[in-house]
Amino acid sequence: MRLLSRSVLLLTLPVCFFASADGVAAKKSLMAKLQNIHHFSANFSQQVFDNDNKIIQQGSGTIVVSKPNKVHWQTLEPEESLIVSDGTTLWLYDPFIEQASAFSLAKSVVNTPILLLTNESAEVWNKYQVNYQDSNSQNQDVYEIQSIDEQSQVKSLVVSFQGEKIESLLIHDATGQKSEITLTDNNYQAVPSSELFNFSVPEGVYLDDQR
């Protein structure tokens, strides 16, 4: 979890400006796509790059998302870790160091891109700027999301859709690192089990409760 999950969790660095007409249209287009997604599951592969664009970490695992604000993100390689959002609390569990951390969900959305994509609140989205990005692929739509929150810890989140399905995420953080996450074997039909979004601290595991 130490490198991969931190990259997944962080979202955006502040950019203070007024939304252009193109930005307003881009946000409406992105919101329309997200409104059609109620839940999905997928496998993911992830590569993390440093400032010199060299790969410093690779990983893979599974992700399950359900609206509103429910996520089960399990990294299987190179080290197992788990991120669970139950709709109220965001849980991070690292079995290698036997530690679980708990965060208030309301305070976590700004730094958690997957949670942002499961949230349709106008109040939340008013804190973000959305712009179109060029794509060389047919039937692909690419959106860049930036926060106006000065406390955000990542520069931008780029979401790529192939048709109506999320194909990949690209996260740029404030240190210059970037994380490329590719989704495969997407399933938008099967309703996820509610048990996936429950987390109980295992016996003997230290709880860092920051709620």
pLDDT at 118: 87
- What is the C-alpha to C-alpha distance for residues 133 and 27, in angstroms, rounded to an integer? 12
- What is the C-alpha to C-alpha distance for residues 139 and 38, in angstroms, rounded to an integer? 21
User: DSSP label at 51?
Assistant: T
pLDDT at 5: 45
Provide the pLDDT confidence category of residue 208 given band limits of 50, 70 and 90. very high
- What is the C-alpha to C-alpha distance for residues 126 and 196, in angstroms, rounded to an integer? 30
Provide the pLDDT confidence category of residue 152 given band limits of 50, 70 and 90. confident
Q: What share of the chain is helix, strand, coil (3-state, %, to 5)?
A: 20, 45, 35
Provide the pLDDT confidence category of residue 207 given band limits of 50, 70 and 90. very high
Question: What are the φ and ψ backbone dihedral angles of 189, each rounded to 5 degrees?
Answer: -100, -50
**The two structure tokens encoding residue 186:** 């997407």
Provide the pLDDT confidence category of residue 21 given band limits of 50, 70 and 90. low
pLDDT in tens, 80-134: 999 999 999 999 999 999 999 999 988 887 677 778 888 888 888 888 899 998 7
Q: What is the largest CA-CA distance in the chain?
A: 54
Provide the pLDDT confidence category of residue 14 given band limits of 50, 70 and 90. very low
- Mean pLDDT for 165-194 is 92
End-to-end CA distance of the chain: 20
